[in-house]
């Protein structure tokens, strides 16, 4: 059996953010670290976007960034002037390649194996793969617990599910200075569904038809709405599909943190790092990796997530609305973007807003479905 100080299961956004942060920190220079993944991580399997202030860790890897955006809802265009924030996009393959290159000659081993089981013992945990068994003092595990499911009625479950095409056109059609966060001009019936656009150039853009809804749709449904949106909203007749991406991101109050043990810490989506009301998590992978590093240095016995409780309550009210009154999504996000500055919204979603900012956002969202969602949350015991 091979023994390491730390084992990271999963070389995705969370695992690699953590591995790169450990690699960059002299505290871990004498430690042995192993990364295990069942996938070779040699394909561009997703595009990660996030906002941040000023320069960031991954600026040398980003494909494109924007200082302006827009939300289109209720037949109105709300212009977002990001000011001190920038919205950035990064192709996952660039991140994987950078991580492989950076960690190549380091103390960190990277193996291509399928993890079948992680079991805690008295001094650490054992990781059983299809090929070997490893031991470590701490295991950081990005496998989603098998008890999580979109159909689990014990929790509020919405998914951010989408399909996107990177399309190329023959003429200039896109305003590449402005990304579209949400365009509700085309919806699938009454559902919270919209189009998200990242214009890389005037002729190349990612166009994604997205739902925040409790049920997944057939592949052909995304294709139908993508084609319709491109033709009727963007007025494009001729285009070539250069890439396709699909995803299902949990937006839920499922208690991922409950699966943490003394020597096994769940990370990424499996650790509840996805913001339940927005579906974003890439930036959280950077922040929460730092929290884990602080914990390892602290010598404390148990890792505890530092998210202030109030945000769990806010997220739950959003989930109450989206699960029970999904038709209200357009109005909900319209009110949010119309009545608050984008800087306040980013701080709120980053869980860094002040109480007065929270109150302003909540009052602006105040409506019958939102109040009913609040009351249902209250009735459910305000458990977060």
- In contact, 148 and 256? CB cutoff 8 Å: yes
181 binds ligand FAD (CB under 6 A): no
Beta carbon nearer to ligand FAD, 29 or 43: 43
Minimum CB–partner distance for residue 275 and ligand FAD (Å): 8
Antiparallel, parallel or unpaired: β 133-141 and 125-129: antiparallel
Which region, judged by CB under 6 A, interacts with ligand FAD, from 36-44, 303-311, 312-320, 346-354? 36-44
Q: Binding string to ligand FAD for residues 50 to 89, with x set by CB under 6 A, is what?
A: x---------------------------------------
Query: ∠ at Cα 364 (363, 369), nearest 5°?
Result: 85
What is residue 368's three-state secondary structure?
A: helix
- In contact, 269 and 142? CB cutoff 8 Å: yes
* Residue list 98-137, contact with ligand FAD (CB under 6 A): 114-115
245 binds ligand FAD (CB under 6 A): yes
Beta carbon nearer to ligand FAD, 15 or 369: 15
- In contact, 289 and 14? CB cutoff 8 Å: yes
Antiparallel, parallel or unpaired: β 108-112 and 33-37: parallel
168 binds ligand FAD (CB under 6 A): no
Minimum CB–partner distance for residue 217 and ligand FAD (Å): 16
Q: State the Cα–Cα distance between residues 17 and 375, nearest whole angstrom.
A: 38
Only one residue has tokens 């689990």, namely: 152
322 binds ligand FAD (CB under 6 A): no
Beta carbon nearer to ligand FAD, 180 or 374: 180
- In contact, 309 and 257? CB cutoff 8 Å: no
Residue from 20, 33, 35, 36 touching ligand FAD (CB under 6 A): that is 36
Residue from 7, 8, 13, 158 touching ligand FAD (CB under 6 A): that is 13
Only one residue has tokens 């989506």, namely: 269
Q: State the Cα–Cα distance between residues 294 and 290, nearest whole angstrom.
A: 6
* Residue list 252-311, contact with ligand FAD (CB under 6 A): 268-270, 280-282
Q: Which two tokens stand for residue 185?
A: 């001009």
Q: State the Cα–Cα distance between residues 75 and 47, nearest whole angstrom.
A: 28
142 binds ligand FAD (CB under 6 A): yes
Minimum CB–partner distance for residue 157 and ligand FAD (Å): 16
**Cα 189–chain centre separation:** 26
Q: CB 121: neighbour CB atoms within 10 A?
A: 9
Minimum CB–partner distance for residue 184 and ligand FAD (Å): 19
Residues of this chain that interact with ligand FAD (CB under 6 A) are: 9-15, 36-39, 46-50, 114-115, 142-143, 245, 247, 249, 268-270, 280-282
């Amino acid at each position: 059996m091979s023994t390491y100080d730390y084992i990271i299961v999963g070389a995705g956004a969370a695992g690699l953010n953590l591995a790169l942060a450990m690699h960059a920190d002299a505290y871990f220079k004498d430690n042995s670290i192993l990364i295990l993944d069942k996938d070779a991580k040699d394909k561009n399997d997703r595009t990660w976007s996030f906002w941040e202030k000023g320069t960031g860790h991954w600026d040398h890897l980003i494909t494109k960034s924007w200082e302006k955006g827009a939300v289109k809802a209720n037949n109105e265009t709300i212009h977002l002037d990001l000011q001190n924030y920038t919205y950035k996009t990064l192709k996952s393959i660039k991140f994987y390649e950078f991580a492989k290159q950076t960690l190549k000659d380091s103390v960190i081993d990277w193996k291509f194996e399928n993890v079948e089981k992680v079991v805690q013992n008295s001094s650490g945990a054992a990781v059983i793969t299809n090929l070997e068994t490893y031991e470590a003092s701490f295991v950081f595990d990005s496998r989603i617990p098998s008890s999580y499911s979109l159909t689990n009625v014990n929790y509020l479950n919405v998914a951010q599910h989408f399909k996107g095409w990177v399309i190329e056109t023959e003429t200039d059609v896109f305003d590449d200075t402005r990304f579209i966060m949400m365009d509700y001009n085309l919806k699938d019936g009454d559902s919270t569904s919209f189009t998200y656009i990242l214009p890389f150039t005037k002729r190349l853009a990612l166009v994604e038809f997205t739902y925040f809804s409790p049920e997944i749709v057939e592949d052909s449904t995304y294709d139908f709405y993508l084609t319709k949106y491109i033709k009727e909203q963007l007025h494009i007749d001729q285009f070539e599909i250069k890439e396709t991406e699909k995803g299902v991101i949990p937006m839920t109050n499922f208690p991922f943190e409950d699966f943490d043990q003394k020597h096994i810490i769940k990370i990424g989506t499996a650790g509840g790092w996805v913001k339940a009301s927005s579906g974003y998590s890439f930036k959280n992978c950077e922040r929460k990796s730092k929290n884990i590093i602080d914990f390892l240095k602290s010598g404390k016995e148990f890792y505890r997530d530092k998210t202030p409780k109030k945000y769990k309550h806010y997220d739950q009210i959003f989930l109450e609305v989206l699960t029970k009154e999904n038709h209200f999504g357009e109005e909900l996000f319209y009110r949010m973007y119309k009545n608050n500055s984008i800087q306040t919204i980013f701080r709120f979603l980053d869980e860094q807003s002040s109480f007065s900012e929270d109150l302003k956002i909540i009052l602006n969202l105040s409506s019958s479905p939102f109040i009913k969602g609040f009351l249902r949350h209250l009735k459910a015991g305000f458990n977060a």
